[in-house]
Amino acid sequence: MKLKDAALAVRENAYVPYSKFKVGAALRTEDGGLYSGCNVENVAYPEGTCAEAGAIAAMCAAGGRKIAEVYVVADSPVPVAPCGGCRQKIAEFAGPDVPVTLATTDGAEFHTTVGALLPGAFDAKQMERA
């Protein structure tokens, strides 16, 4: 299955009673595994959890640790980038050269990399003296 198809399909499962803004994300690991996630809102946390975090959680639950590619899709006039927290989570499991596609349900796509989305990402090197 293509990442685009997986992200579009899981987006339909988003639970967004407050914002009505559905987001789907899919990622492929270095070993070929495909994991997807959608955003989930709740009354105590109406901004909810992000689709990218859901895909990463699914990957980790299955034992995956290395992201090779990411695809994010939303019904928006322009492609939507992951929030700052999700950018950091993606960077935890992906190198700076890993491709990221941001897309709309209308088919517009913006191609970038993890490093371009989060320059200067915090990583384990910063904690070497701890």
- On the CB side of 56, CA atoms within 13 Å amount to 21
Q: What percent of the chain is predicted at pLDDT more than 90?
A: 80
How far is it, in rounded angstroms, from Cα 112 to Cα 65?
A: 21
Q: Evaluate if residue 49 carries a pLDDT over 90.
A: no
Q: Evaluate if residue 47 carries a pLDDT over 80.
A: no
Number of domains in the chain: 1
Which CATH number covers residue 63?
3.40.140.10
Average pLDDT, the chain: 93
For residue 47, give every residue at least 6 positions away whose Cβ sits within 8 Å of its Cβ, in sequence order, or none: 19, 41
Output the DSSP codes for 76-92: SSS--PPPHHHHHHHHH
- Expressed as residue numbers, the domain containing 45 is 3-127
Q: Evaluate if residue 45 carries a pLDDT over 80.
A: no
69 is known as an active-site residue: no
52, 69, 109, 128: the catalytic one is 52
Confidence of residue 128 (pLDDT cuts 50, 70, 90): confident
pTM of this structure: 0.93
